[in-house]
Amino acid sequence: MHSRTLLITGGAGFIGSHVLRLFVNKYPQYRIINLDALTYAGNLENLRDLEQAPNYAFVKADIRDAAAMAKIFAEHLPDGVIHLAAESHVDRSISNPMAFVETNVTGTVNLLNAAREAWKGKFEGKRFYHVSTDEVYGSLHDGGFFLETTPYDPQSPYSASKAASDHFVRAYGNTYGLPFVVSNCSNNYGSHQFPEKLIPLMIHNLREGKPLPVYGKGENVRDWLWVEDHARAIDLIFHQGVNGETYNIGGHNEWKNIDLVHLLCSIMDRKLGRASGTSAKQITFVTDRAGHDLRYAIDAGKIGRELGWKPGITFEAGLERTVDWYLANDPWLQAVTSGAYRDYYAAQYGKQG
Ligand code: NAD
Ligand code: TYD
C-alpha cells in the first residue's frame, strides 16, 4: 500500500529524469507516475534503471490534451503534482513560439484544471508544484540578482510562456485556493541534457571536431547549477515549502559563455589526450541569438535560510563529471543526435556552426 501518489510531468526529459531517480529511490512508499509525451526532448532511455521499480509507472500523454489530463487524474488520483513538462529551448521558441504557448501555457492550465476538478475543493494534503525558470525575471544589465520579489520581465517567447504559466498557477491559488508552490531556477547542467543546450552541444562538437558556435561575442553570463542539486531543492520545496510561496534556486556560479567554453576546451584537451590549446581552435563566433538576455544571476538566500538548501558540488567537479558521462555514453549521444536533430542543427546553425 502506497502512502501517496505523485504525478511528475516531463520525467523523461533532462531535469525530470533526475527528479524521478531521486524520488523513486528515496520514497519507496510513494507511487510515482511519470507523465510525458516523449517529444524530441523526452527519452525513456534516461530512466532505464527505474523501469522495474515497483513504485514507478510511466504514462505517455500530452499535457495539451485536456481530456487526457482529466482521465489520468480520475484514474490515478494523485495528491501531489510536480510539473516539469515544457518546451524548454529558447532558440526553438524563437523559430516556433506557438509550440511554447500550447505546451507551456495551455498545457499548464489543463493540468491546473484537472487538479482542481479532481481535488474538488478538498485541498488538505494536496500540492501542485510548478517548476519554472529564472528567465521570467528578464535580463540583468546593471548588476544585482534576481530575488523572489523581482518583477517579471520576460524577453523571449520561451520565458514569456513560462511567465504566463507561473501567473496561471498563482491565479489558481488566489482564485480557487489551489495549494501550490513555484520555484524559479537558473541554468542546469549535468548528464542526460539534450545537446541543443550550450554545455552538451559544446561537448558533442568538441568530440566530433566540429565548430563550437558561440553566439555574439560570448559575453553573456549564466548562473550554472548541477542538476542533482536542483532535484534536491525540488524535493525540499515539495515536502517542506510553504503553500503559495516562491523559491529561487541558483548555483552562485556565474560564467561568461566564452570563459565556460574555454574551460570545457581545456577539460576536453586533457580527456582526449590533445595538446593544450587544440580544442579552443574549434571556437567559432556566430550570429547572436535574437533578443539575447545578457545576464541571469539568482539570489538563492531564501531557500538557504528557510529550507537549509545549498549547492552540493563545485562547478569544476560537476563539469568534470558531466564530460565523463557524455564520453562514456556515446550511444546515447549518437541516438539523440541522429534524425530530427540533424535537421534542427542545419536550420539553427546553417553553415556557421
Ligand atoms: P527538457 O526539454 O529536457 O524536457 C522536457 C520534457 O517534457 C521532455 O521529456 C518532453 O517529452 C516533455 N514534454 C514536452 N512537451 C510535452 C507535452 N506537451 N506533454 C507532455 N510532456 C511534454 O526540459 P528540462 O531542461 O528538463 O526542463 C524541465 C523543466 O524545468 C521545464 O519546465 C523548464 O522550463 C524548467 N527549467 C529548466 C532549466 C534548465 O536549465 N534546463 C532551468 C530552470 C527551469
Ligand atoms: P542555453 O543552454 O540555450 O540556455 P539559456 O538560453 O536558457 O540560458 O544557452 C546558454 C547560453 O549559451 C546562452 O547565453 C546562449 C549561449 N549559446 C551559445 O553561445 N551557443 C549555442 O550554440 C547555444 C545553444 C547557446
pLDDT of 237 above 70:
yes
Q: Which three cell numbers stand for residue 139?
A: 535580463
Backbone phi, then psi, for 97, in 5-degree steps? -60, -30
Ligand 1: which residue has its CA nearest to atom 43?
133
pLDDT attached to residue 351? 65
Q: How many Cβ atoms from other residues are within 10 Å of residue 114's Cβ?
A: 23
What percentage of residues in the chain have a pLDDT greater than 70? 99
- Closest Cα to residue 12, out of 29, 37, 30, 31? 37
Best residue among 133, 158, 196, 197 to mutate for probing ligand 2's pocket (most ligand atoms within 8 Å of CB) is: 197
The answer on pLDDT for 17 being more than 80 is: yes
Point out which residues pair with 222 in neighbouring strands: 255
Q: How far apart are CA 86 and CA 105, in angstroms?
A: 9
Ligand 2 centre to CA of 213 (Å) is: 10
What pLDDT digit, counting tens, does each position of 36-67 carry? 999 999 999 999 999 999 999 999 999 999 99
Ligand 1: does its nearest atom lie under 6 Å from the Cβ of 161? Answer: no
Beta-sheet pairing, 254-256 with 221-226: antiparallel
- How confident is the prediction for the chain on average, in pLDDT? 97
Q: Is residue 341 over pLDDT 90?
A: no
Cα three-residue angle 25-29-35, rounded to 5 degrees:
70
**Confidence tier at 249 by pLDDT (50, 70, 90):** very high
What is the pLDDT, as a whole number, of residue 353? 60
Q: If you ran DSSP here, which 8-state letter would residue 205 be given?
A: H
Instruction: Please tell me if the CB atom of residue 13 comes closer than 6 angstroms to any atom of ligand 1.
Output: yes
pLDDT value of position 350:
84
For each of the domains in the chain, give its residue range(s) and CATH number, in order of start: 4-189+224-249 (3.40.50.720), 198-221+255-291+314-348 (3.90.25.10)
Atom of ligand 2 nearest to the CA of 261: 19
User: In whole angstroms, how large is the CA radius of gyration of the chain?
Assistant: 20
**Closest residue by Cα to residue 189 from 180, 181, 197, 177:** 197
| 198-214: pLDDT as tens digits | 999 999 999 999 999 99
With a 6 Å cutoff on the Cβ, whether 7 touches ligand 1 is: no
Q: Residue 172: exposed, middle, or buried by beta-carbon count in 10 A (0-12, 13-18, 19+)?
A: buried
CA of 100 to the centre of ligand 1 (A): 11
Does the pLDDT value for residue 352 go beyond 70?
Answer: no
Q: Which residues line ligand 2 (CB under 6 A)?
A: 90, 187, 197-198, 201, 213-215, 220, 222, 257, 289
Please give the Cα distance from 3 to 333 (Å, whole number). 38
The partner residues of 127 in beta bridges, in order of sequence, read 80
Write the pLDDT tens digit of every residue in 88-133: 999 999 999 999 999 999 999 999 999 999 999 899 999 999 999 9
Cβ–ligand 1 contact at 170 (below 6 Å): no
- Per-residue pLDDT tens digits for 298-336: 999 999 999 999 999 999 999 999 999 999 999 999 999
323 by DSSP, 3-state: which?
helix
Q: What whole-number percentage of the chain has pLDDT above 90? A: 96
pLDDT for 142 equals 83
* All three cell numbers of 289: 541569438
Write out the catalytic residue numbers: 134-135, 158
Q: Whose CA is nearest to atom 44 of ligand 1?
A: 133
* Nearest ligand atom owner, CA of 292: 2
Q: Residue 168 — very low, low, confident or very high, per pLDDT cuts 50/70/90?
A: very high
In the β-sheet with 221-226, what is the strand arrangement from edge to edge?
187-189, 221-226, 254-256
Please tell me the total number of residues recorded for the chain in this structure.
353
In this prediction the pTM is: 0.98
Q: Tell me the three cell numbers of residue 305.
A: 535560510
pLDDT digits over 126-157, tens only? Answer: 999 999 999 999 999 989 999 999 999 999 99
CA of 210: how far to CAs of 186, 283, 284, in Å?
28, 9, 10
CA of 175 to the centre of ligand 2 (A): 37
Under a CB-based contact definition with an 8 Å cutoff, are residues 187 and 222 in contact?
yes
Measured in Å, residue 195 CA sits from the centre of ligand 1 at 14
